[in-house]
Copies of this chain bind each other. A is one copy, B any other.
Amino acid sequence: MTITAIKPKRISDEVFEQMKEHIITGEWAPGSKIPSEHELVELFGVSRVSVREAIHRLVGMGVLTIRRGEGTFVNEVLPENYMNTLLPILMIESASFSETLEFRAIMEAESARMAAKRADEKDIARLEKALKAMEKKKGNIQEFAEADLNFHVAVAMATHNSVIIKVNAIIHDMLKKIMEEIVDITGYEGGLYYHGKILEAIKNRDESTAAKLMREHISATVDKISGLDELKSKKPLA
């Protein structure tokens, strides 16, 4: 007889696969609530631990959302969900920080262009609020850095394109950690100046100016922090 390799099977893998099938086939439809953990334990005949691990893998994939006290739900399949696959790449491929910033410059410049085209009253109001928040937070590096990112988030939202919003969020997730250092180096005025001008361009529906300013803004930032690749904190956990 022939010998075939035995692959160790994890129960949670089996649960994961079966749950995936149920979602793919539509038996568990988008937006619907899946059986409770207790019910799944009964159905699969396994422990709650195994069920929960499978669920959390699906959460990581953007397929399920857990609402504590309510239940676990199948996500509507939106473009921004599959953009989750970008995260691993941008997260791990810290290949070079400068490449990520270059990518960001493109995204943000074109986001500004699109925002100038599509922003409605609500978007404008959000942008103005974000800008005012920055002015108010001048002097506090941490809060200013957060407000700065919020302005960029508001620009992304004004595009009304959920893929762009998601990609922006991923980029900002990565920048959050070092944004304070950036503010520390670049100061407050540069960001405030550009943000003000960009908002003005968006209000005026001046697409090319908005894009141009945003590109300048990012480039100026990149220039000032060009040595930041080594700056990124390498501190160990704990």
Is there contact, CB below 8 Å, between B232 and A25? yes
Is there contact, CB below 8 Å, between A86 and B89? no
A226 at the interface (CB under 8 A from B): no
Q: Which chain B residues lie closer than 8 Å to A62 at the CB level?
A: 85, 88
Is there contact, CB below 8 Å, between B87 and A61? yes
Is there contact, CB below 8 Å, between B84 and A88? yes
Which of A100-108, A137-145, A197-205 contacts its partner?
Answer: A100-108
Q: Which chain B residues lie closer than 8 Å to A18 at the CB level?
A: 237
Which of A124-132, A164-172, A183-191, A217-225 contacts its partner?
Answer: A164-172
A225-236 to B contact mask, C-beta < 8 Å, 1/0:
000000011111
Complex-state Cα separation, A102 to B92, whole angstroms: 26
Which A residues form the contact surface with B (CB < 8 A)?
8, 10, 12, 18, 20-27, 30, 35, 43, 49, 52-53, 56-63, 68, 74-79, 81-82, 84-97, 99-100, 102-103, 106-107, 110, 161-164, 166-167, 170, 173-174, 177, 232-238
Question: Given A25-B236, A99-B163, list of 12 further CB < 8 A pairs?
Answer: A21-B238, A24-B90, A27-B235, A56-B57, A61-B61, A74-B92, A77-B91, A79-B99, A93-B163, A102-B161, A102-B163, A106-B107
